Structure 1
Amino acid sequence: MADQQKMTLGRRSFLGAAGSLAATPLLDAGLSPALAQSTSTAGSSASALGRRKLGSLEVSSVGLGVQNMSRTYQTTIPNRAEMIGIIRAAHERGVTFYDAAEAYGPHEVERILGEGVQPFRNQIVVASKFGWNIDLETGKRLPELNSRPEHVKLAVEGMLKRLRTDHIDLLYQHRVDPQVPIEDVAGAVKELVAQGKVLHWGLSEMGLNTVRRAHAELPLTAVQNEYSMLWRGPEEAVIPLCEELGIGFVPWSPLGVGFLTGAIDERTRFAEGDIRGVEARFSSENVPNNLALVALVKTWADRKKATPAQIALAWLMAQKPWIVPIPGTTQMAHMLANIGAASIHFEPDEVAELNKAVAAIQINGARLPDQVLVFSGVEAPPRT
């Protein structure tokens, strides 16, 4: 049965289910002080949320991932009006950074975000992504990737229409196309920048040499990789490279696809289409060991009078001042809790203590199935 699930997962399930699933658990009935603060007046909440820099681009210290606002997993379709309400409530509370992609939906998430932010479009930063091979008109998923320059330009035209805007603030290549030199991709983006259709650009889950080549061609504003207490891989080389080059870092899945909130335990069974059901780190063999990390987060939540999600997000922000998490949600209460993380403060000795405790916990199991991981860490081919 497990092998059959792996065979049926594929790229479609990954894009539909992974990345922004941080908001699946129910919150505790009692509100933490940080959450209570986030539900106060919009003005004071905006001030508490604060701002950070991704390169030269200023954004709120916590963003909002909207990936699942068109469909969570394979069967649940969120209420569109409620999703727009969350987007607008986030803005009222100081969120200025919204993360989408043409692949989410596909296309539909950009439409929802475009409608949601229309009243305040020029007050915020909208990020979206190209790179999967998606039919420009129908949104049908086609095999492999597509970052051919002419396709990129047409894909951005579609994004602009769906997002109801004349520019994209931050445009990422979603995954590196192994058939297209990154210099050619950068060249296409450079033309879009010259036309005012794109203001900044970035890469996601890319190879390290590709970062250097892309940055040399057209300076990168941000890179986006999975990063959380549960998956700390970027600490080895990606984050140091960002620091060297002055590139911001945006962690996707900052709550470990819900794990760090306490939503998953030994009894959890995942719905069909939920990518976590085929991730080794959430298998029945590995979850008991990995729950030591959840216990640690809960201990710190008690200590700081916060929720586990707030601790996980605040930990990320404590690592570097240019790290901006983008937790995703389809529930208002979770959005409010997530932005409350900006009010959690760690003293330097607390950061050192928590980092040491996190590092001492060995997480068992790969972060993604092999057929999904194959798209990460890819180097673009050389320019001939």
Structure 2
Amino acid sequence: MELLLLLLSTLLILTLCCHFFYLFIRTNKQNGSEKLPLPPGHVSWPFKYFETLDYLKKARTNTIHKFIAERVQKYKTKCFKTCHIGQNMVFLTSAEGNKFLFSNDYKLVRSWWPVTFLKVFENAGEEITVEEVIRARKQFLSFFNEPDALARHVAITDQVVQDHFKCYWDGSKQVGVYPLARKLTFDVSCRLLADIQDREILDESLPLMGNVVRAFFAFPINFPGTILNRAIKSSRRLRKIFVDIIKERRGDLLEKKNLDQRNDVLSRLLVENYKEGRDIDDVFLAKNLVSLLSAAYDNPSVTITSIVKNLAERPEIYEKVRKEQIEIAKSKAPGEHMSMEDVKKMKFSMNVLSESLRLEAPASGTFREALDDFNYEGFLIPKGWKVIIHFNISFTSVN
């Protein structure tokens, strides 16, 4: 009996020792990360509700910089925590934060999009992941990374722009720059990605794409009449339009209608996969074309509008740009399209573009998700939290 008690006591002591040893190792392995404070801010109820409302209110009036500046001045730090669309988020508000985020892609953080973005592009009963979207976009955009890709597309873009100005700008005393810039960039994107020139298809697709983009940062509530519900319906209609185009293009390919001579991404992708004996689902192609077009829907038009605004406010800069463009136009024969060599001559115009991008970034920001706990500026960013950088804030003073 005494031997049994001794044995049980020994086992108990060993178990306790192992347990405490495990806790000791686990605590030291965390390198003190739990001792770091979270960034200042509010992520608990009811504050998280008001934080989201305040963010969305300022987003609608294009005053996100005020949302950020108020909190930077309040907390006196380069980062703060808040809640947005149901997620705990950390805002990085400096150029150093921008560099930190991009230099640690897939080391400390990875790409992330709001749940509404994924819901808009998923099929009924089928989930879509961020990784799938990134992989598909890289496959499509690989055609733009070829050495002569930009040179091939300059002339096509020039033709679309000329047609647009003749139709919507010439003879008008006053125009709305932003809606027309959005129509122009959408037309150019459709032409380069899928060689869509049918005006009826373009006019039907543009408002549908507007519904899709508006849902990216809306509340994830899918009921009839909500922004997300309209976006899902619009996305499905857009996919149907593109599936019909893809089927027609496949028919041209089978009938040997010189599809390999086209420069649009869709035709080249179909030809490449046909030659290699691979097949891609039409719905998958359509879904990713819609995703790419959504990325091109707002950003370029914001930049164009910003450039026009800046030139209108600075007549002396406008005259220098105009003079440079006239000199290039004089060197062209009637009906001759712009070339890559002409673009290289636009040195002053490119400086204006670069400064406009700095002052008014086309994309408000980018999201990342923490892959593990990490330290930023003495604060703990927990695993799973979302990190966001707003470009306009990171390249300008909050004051």
TM-score (ref. length: structure 1): 0.27
**Larger Rg belongs to:** 2
Bigger fraction of residues in helix: 2
Bigger fraction of residues in strand: 1
